[in-house]
Amino acid sequence: MSLTSSAATEPDYDVLVVGAGFAGMYALIDARRRGLRVVCIDAAPQVGGVWQWNRYPGARCDIESLDYSYSFDDELQQDWTWTERYATQPEILRYAEHVVHRYELREHIRLNQRVAKAVFDAEAAVWQVEVDGGADVRAQHLVLATGSLSTPVRPNIPGLDEFTGEILMTAAWPHEGFDVTGLEVGVIGTGSSGIQAIPILAKSAKSLTVFQRSANYSVPVKNRDLSPEQMDEARRDYPRRRSIARTSMAGTLAQAHPSSFWDLDEAERRAAFEARWAEGGVLFGKVFDGQTVDRGINDAAREFAIEKIHALVDDPEVAAALTPDHAIGTKRICTDSDYYETFNRQHVSLVDLRKNPIVEIRPDGIKTQDGLHRLDVLVLATGFDALTGAIAAIHLEGPDGVLASDVWADGPLTNLGIAIPGLPNLHVIMGPQSPGVFSNAFIASELQVDWVMDLIVHCRENRIRTVETTREAAQDWSDKVQKLAAGTLFPETESWYLGANIEGKPRVFMLYAGGLHPYSLECAGVRDAGYAGFELADA
Ligand code: NA7
């Protein structure tokens, strides 16, 4: 497939949205509402982004369903019924399909097609986009809604390709499912995906061996059904709920304890931790203000969580191996149903790879230093090239041959996490240097998409052909992102927030840690100042 030559013809579309996950679907809806000619392209066979791929057993959201859903249209939220406090992956996917149907998106989405390359034709002020598996596209604006956790990592372990059993990736689970009944199963990876899948796999596997490199903190999710009465009540409460979410730090109702940790005595602190633990879920990471900033508070939360692990796991040696050594919350806290209890089952064992590393994978199992662990099935829950992986997979070339890969050679450089210097008319949603995965992805992406569509409409109304961040403004934003992170405990932990899980990836903290609402004020400030820090060139 070749790119069409630079001809001063009309672009096919005003906007090309790459990615039909929830951010991309909203970009499509919003662009259409504003009368823009728009198309959305996704490599997957179905909409839903990460929820389309991650079909492993036990997959569910870790933000409450009532929050983890679109807020832009009250009729949509009145019309939809969530059946559980934390929706399962199939229910989230049904919601995605419902949205497609409700807003008549189908004919505007091209599935099973991959955007491989986009080159900006400066003369025509148009992105020429090469699409694998479909016709090329010329669009004035390119919106990358390619996902924060959408490029799975297959670990580089000697012998992996020689394994003759079944290899399953949590991030590419077979659509038809996979029955592990009576099989010897191994799981590599104990992040959110592994921790959600392990208890379910253990229910039917003949044996389950968990190969753990780093222990993680996990809090019981305390999932429950939502009754019709609760759902009715929630529908009435949506306006309040959404308005709190939009002015919150993470796009949810989560509130830290009203008192400062340091003003409370030991018993009061313990009661606060206990109450949040009983409530369940990721919000244990925010029991007190400053919990990921102040080492004293973090240590107290950490010690409480470790105590819980030891209370849940019968064998003290296994409990010790399951005890993490990083500051709590500096990797995303996982949520589970019976994760720790699963290690009390006779047929479940834990291999601590720090003490007993993998030597190689053999055709019939994993050989660690202490011997062979025979396996029929190997589950890889080994994470993603987060935040930048999906963007890096596209050849993005601005005027004068400027490559996104060069601009980001030392780590992401953006203005507001949205614009990249040297690449005009390109807008990133939920990318690096935005609040991204630190916040509710629905609220955060609605906010960013609204901002981007305002900008695109502003360009149209003012006959502006190109809009591009200045390098100085991008540098200022990146400095701000780094400074905010430096004031927290996050950078001290080897995590995918820093790119530490990918060999050779620049070690730079990649998220805006200042909170969703302050971020929205930053975005509004730039817009209200006539897009300060951006160069807008007219026809
Ligand atoms: P994560 O959180 O990145 O977890 C990946 C896990 O895989 C983690 O425990 C890794 O250990 C482990 N891993 C990766 N490579 C290897 C190798 N080579 N050997 C052993 N262990 C390995 O991904 P998830 O999919 O679980 O969750 C991602 C996000 O999705 C999550 O934060 C939620 O927001 C939803 P490590 O910690 O690197 O030592």
Q: Which two tokens stand for residue 409?
A: 């050679």
Sheet containing strand 365-368, strands side by side: 358-362, 365-368, 371-374
Of 501, 507, 511, the residue with max ligand 1 atoms within 8 A of its CB, to mutate for a pocket test, comes to: 501
Q: Is 282 in the pocket of ligand 1 (CB under 6 A)?
A: no
| Cα→Cα distances 279→178, 224, 331, 342, 506, Å | 32, 11, 20, 21, 37
Alpha carbon distance 490, 342 (integer Å): 29
Alpha carbon distance 124, 127 (integer Å): 9
User: Contact at 8 Å (CB) between 379 and 187?
Assistant: yes
Alpha carbon distance 121, 249 (integer Å): 39
Q: Residues 6 or more apart from 254 whose CB is under 8 A from it?
A: 248, 283, 286
Among candidates 495, 2, 457, 8, which has minimal Cα distance to 213?
495
Q: Is 437 in the pocket of ligand 1 (CB under 6 A)?
A: yes
Q: Which two tokens stand for residue 472?
A: 């100085």
Neighbouring CB atoms inside 10 A of 123's CB total 10
Q: What spacing in Å lies between the alpha carbon of 191 and ligand 1's midpoint?
A: 4
Alpha carbon distance 20, 308 (integer Å): 40
Q: Is 190 in the pocket of ligand 1 (CB under 6 A)?
A: yes
Nearest atom in ligand 1 to the alpha carbon of residue 155 is: 18
Q: Is 189 in the pocket of ligand 1 (CB under 6 A)?
A: yes
Buried b / exposed e along 276-298 (16+ C-beta atoms within 10 A): bbeebbbbbbbbbbbbbebeebb
pTM above 0.85, yes or no: yes
For tokens 């993005």, what's the residue? 396
Q: Atom 20 in ligand 1: which residue has the minimum CA distance? A: 213
Q: Residues 6 or more apart from 129 whose CB is under 8 A from it?
A: 16, 115, 117, 118, 136, 137, 138, 139, 142
What DSSP assignment string belongs to 306-344?
HHHHHHH-SSHHHHHHT---SPTTSSPPEEESSHHHHTT
User: Contact at 8 Å (CB) between 390 and 147?
Assistant: yes
Phi, psi of 100 (to 5 degrees): -55, -45
Q: What spacing in Å lies between the alpha carbon of 362 and ligand 1's midpoint?
A: 22
Q: What spacing in Å lies between the alpha carbon of 33 and ligand 1's midpoint?
A: 39
pLDDT in tens, the chain (539 residues): 334 444 446 899 999 999 999 999 999 999 999 999 999 999 999 999 999 999 999 999 999 999 999 999 999 999 999 999 999 999 999 999 999 999 999 999 999 999 999 999 999 999 999 999 999 999 999 999 999 999 999 999 999 999 999 999 999 999 999 999 999 999 999 999 999 999 999 999 999 999 999 999 999 999 999 999 999 999 999 999 999 999 999 999 989 999 999 999 999 999 999 999 999 999 999 999 999 999 999 999 999 999 999 999 999 999 999 999 999 999 999 999 999 999 999 999 999 999 999 999 999 999 999 999 999 999 999 999 999 999 999 999 999 999 999 999 999 999 999 999 999 999 999 999 999 999 999 999 999 999 999 999 999 999 999 999 999 999 999 999 999 999 999 999 999 999 999 999 999 999 999 999 999 999 999 999 999 999 999 97
Amino acid identity, position 377: V
Of 213, 385, 496, the residue with max ligand 1 atoms within 8 A of its CB, to mutate for a pocket test, comes to: 213
